[in-house]
Structure 1
Amino acid sequence: MSPPVPWVAPVLYTGVLLAGGYAGLAGLGDTRPLPFVGGLAAAAALDLAERRWFGAGAPRPAAVGLLAARAASFVLVAAGDGAGLARVLFLLLPFTAYFAFGRAVSVGVGAGCVAALAVAFQLTEPRWYRSPEHVSDLLMFVLGLVLTITMAAVAAEERRARTRAQDANERLRASSERVAELSAAAERNRVARDIHDGLGHHLTAISVLLEKAAAFRDRDPAAADAAVEDAHRSARLALDDVRRSVGALREAPFRLSTALDELARQARRTDDGRLAVTVDWSGDERHHRPAVLMTLYRAAQEGITNVRRHAHATRALVTVHCAPTEARLVVTDDGHGFEPGREGFGLRGMRERVALVGGSVTLDSGPGRGTRLAVAIPRQPEPAP
């Protein structure tokens, strides 16, 4: 893995080149241009090749080869350097090793560089340890080594933190897209339930009334006209229901008791009094959120629609009790009933709608004994300010 601080090596190469060139031109040292410049060129070429071939991560065998090649080029530079500054290039070995192999290998490479420098001093001056200049050079090299490894550790941690942040951003983006998809699906389901529970109820009434008007058009024009007028009224109620739903979304006031009374009156008018719908109300709806009250209204709508369509009943009772701890609605009828498990889209949509506000739906029915639909929604605690 190449270092995330690419400017370090070029800066050191430039400093060594200037110092060695100046020493050679000023006669301050024995600088040999061929190994000196050739070694620096080879080191720079290795850096360029690593970035081009491997990008941010060389395989481990290649990283070992690159490290060894760098060490050889630095030895070549040191052999031709007359200024004595080439030893700072060896700090790049533990620096690059940190990113390729980790901290332990980097410290080991650094210790090897210190040992190699001590051996070089011993070969050139056997009693170097008594020379303040050589001891100072060794101590400065060790200090530079500590700073280099520390710098590598900081840079590696910053790279890991950046990678973790990128991964977290990717996960957050994926989660946001998933939430958006689920929100869109939930909104589609909500709209579908509203259409079925609201418009579906009124359109059923309009269809029945228009069929009645067509059947009585010749035999009883007055009854046909009344049916058409009731159909017009149901259409207006459908529009009012749409406005009420929009108003609920905008947190407009909604009174469940008034809406249920109107629902019962409409059912009685639509069926010419053949179905007696009664509302038994108790409690205080102000204990509950508008979303809960709207859910109870939709449940009553669906229950009465099912009674008119399928139950062949003569009486339906809507019982509502808004207690401080729970809101409960029960729709019962004296119709034919139906086999358990035969639920259509309306009842499934009702269960979904009630579940969204933390409630439950129970259905009790059977052939010949009517149907009892019960919705219970516990009062949710108010959110903390």
Structure 2
Amino acid sequence: MASPPTAVPWVPPVLYTAVLAGGGYHAAVSDRPVHWAQTAGFAAGLVLLLLLEPVERRRFTRGTPAGPAAALLAVRVVLFSVVAVLDGSGVSRALFVLVPFTAHLAFGRRAGLLTGAGCVALLVTGYTVWVPRWWVQAAYVSDLLMFALALALALSMAAVAVREQQGRARLEGILAELEQSHEQLSDYALRVAELSTAGERNRVAREIHDSLGHHLTAIAIQLEKAEAFRERDPLASAKAVSDARWSAGRALTEVRESVSALRDARPFSLTRALADLARHLEDDRLTVTLDISGDETGYDAASLTALYRAAQEALTNAHRHGRATRIEVAAAYGPSAARLVVTDNGQGFGAAPAARPSGTGFGIRGMRERVELLGGRVDIEDRPASRPATGAVVTVTVPRSPLLAGSSG
């Protein structure tokens, strides 16, 4: 495949016009009689060359096959020869400069050099045949040197034009790739936005379940207790109402703390939150013990919040579903990981199918998702053989440096 010789479209018409003007001027000022037929043929040849340019540009585009491009070059050479024969001034020899120029554009640097050498050889042969001892005549030697210099300039201009054309083609390719990359990035950005939205929905759902859901469950339990003991044990009923009121207040406080954390990023204390949770869950039928070891300083707020939500979920399951009377909560802050262990003496997860470790309960699933997002893990033992007096053991471990800090809120 060859490119059409139109990378510098203004060069051939300018040269044709200059040759036509030079030949016409020579015919007008020459002392010899004017041969009108010869002059008309000379002018007609140049007009045909001028008309060939727009026809070529209109009918042929980049990527023209080598055959048509070679045919066009041959037509030019024939017209150049006819014009040169009919020109009495000799100016038309400059037209042959376009032969290597056109060949370089259409077929490459090697073709341009070969045709340029051929033109010089043809001129030397012509001088040798028709001009005896031309090499000792300054005018002919000067013409040959000027022609060679014009060929060198034409080939240089063709090389520049080809490089410019290739650079434009590369630039167009790069722009096309950039446009495609931009479209891909737009698609990726849209997908990331969709994933971020889905992740935020899941986070909010977990937050509502772990915080408000826990307190609403506690309120329901305490109100059921108050209803059951209203006649038989007024003091227990009053305490249950008081605990329900505390749970409602705590739910409101946690909502406010969550909003405040989004604004001010206030530090969260897991030790204080666990102590508060254990103290208000205890009553005459449930004992909650708390054992804290180590220092929570240095742990990410997301990790501490995940452990607190896990404790809420485990305590709710043990109290409401497992009907435990004793729950042990142990939190240990190590140098590389923090561990929370909640042990109860209830009926285990067998009493609550929706909350079983392998089940589809939202609480357990949400707990696992929250912890796994931080690079931690959740282990649940249901009535382990090694500890038959216990109902279930929930162990949650999170690393000191979470994989996705802040993902779980």
The interval holding the TM-score normalised by the smaller chain is 0.7 to 0.9
From 270, 274, 298, the counterpart of 1:260: 274
Alignment-derived partner of residue 161 in structure 1? 174
- 2:77–2:99: 8 Å Cα contact kept in structure 1? no
From 349, 352, 368, the counterpart of 2:366: 349
Is the counterpart of residue 338 in structure 1 residue 312 in structure 2?
A: no
Paired with 2:370 and 2:213, the residues of 1 have a C-alpha distance of 16
Q: CA deviation at 1:286?
A: 0.9
Paired with 2:341 and 2:179, the residues of 1 have a C-alpha distance of 53
Could you say if the C-alpha distance between residues 120 and 285 of structure 1 is closer, same or farther in structure 2, counting changes exceeding 3 Å? Answer: same
Q: CA deviation at 1:220?
A: 6.4
Q: Which moved more, 1:219-228 or 1:292-301?
A: 219-228
Q: CA deviation at 1:320?
A: 0.8
Q: Which moved more, 1:232-241 or 1:170-179?
A: 170-179
Alignment-derived partner of residue 179 in structure 1? 192
Could you say if the C-alpha distance between residues 146 and 337 of structure 1 is closer, same or farther in structure 2, counting changes exceeding 3 Å? Answer: same
Is the counterpart of residue 36 in structure 1 residue 46 in structure 2?
A: yes
Paired with 1:342 and 1:241, the residues of 2 have a C-alpha distance of 28
- 1:327–1:377: 8 Å Cα contact kept in structure 2? yes
- 1:74–1:86: 8 Å Cα contact kept in structure 2? no
For 1:175-226, what per-residue CA distance to the aligned partner results, in whole angstroms no more than 9, with x for missing partners?
A: 3333223222222221121112111111211222333445456766776565
Alignment-derived partner of residue 372 in structure 1? 393
Is the counterpart of residue 313 in structure 1 residue 312 in structure 2?
A: no
For 1:64-110, what per-residue CA distance to the aligned partner results, in whole angstroms no more than 9, with x for missing partners?
A: 46634653665477465865357448635544x5xxxxxxx633543
Map residues 119-130 of structure 1 onto 2, 5 A cutoff: 121=123, 125=127
Alignment-derived partner of residue 110 in structure 1? 112
Could you say if the C-alpha distance between residues 360 and 77 of structure 1 is closer, same or farther in structure 2, counting changes exceeding 3 Å? Answer: farther
Map residues 56-75 of structure 1 onto 2, 5 A cutoff: 63-64=65-66, 67-68=69-70, 70-71=72-73, 74-75=76-77
For structure 1, the 5+ residue unaligned runs are 52-57, 98-104
Paired with 1:50 and 1:273, the residues of 2 have a C-alpha distance of 98
Is the counterpart of residue 276 in structure 1 residue 317 in structure 2?
A: no
Paired with 1:159 and 1:321, the residues of 2 have a C-alpha distance of 63
For 1:144-182, what per-residue CA distance to the aligned partner results, in whole angstroms no more than 9, with x for missing partners?
A: 343333334433443343334334333333333332232
SS at 2:257's partner residue? helix
Look up the equivalent residue of 2:312 and give its one-letter code: Q
From 50, 57, 60, the counterpart of 1:47: 57
Alignment-derived partner of residue 336 in structure 2? 325
Paired with 1:89 and 1:215, the residues of 2 have a C-alpha distance of 110
Q: Which moved more, 1:180-189 or 1:313-322?
A: 180-189
For structure 2, the 5+ residue unaligned runs are 29-38, 85-90, 136-140, 351-356, 404-409
How many residue pairs get aligned? The number is: 361
Is the counterpart of residue 359 in structure 1 residue 376 in structure 2?
A: yes
Look up the equivalent residue of 1:289 and give its one-letter code: D
Alignment-derived partner of residue 101 in structure 1? none
Could you say if the C-alpha distance between residues 146 and 294 of structure 1 is closer, same or farther in structure 2, counting changes exceeding 3 Å? Answer: same
Paired with 1:28 and 1:275, the residues of 2 have a C-alpha distance of 125
Q: RMSD of the TM alignment (CA)?
A: 3.8
Alignment-derived partner of residue 205 in structure 1? 218
Q: Which moved more, 1:331-340 or 1:193-202?
A: 331-340
- What is the TM-score when the length of structure 1 is the normalising length? 0.77
Could you say if the C-alpha distance between residues 258 and 121 of structure 1 is closer, same or farther in structure 2, counting changes exceeding 3 Å? Answer: same
Could you say if the C-alpha distance between residues 18 and 332 of structure 1 is closer, same or farther in structure 2, counting changes exceeding 3 Å? Answer: farther
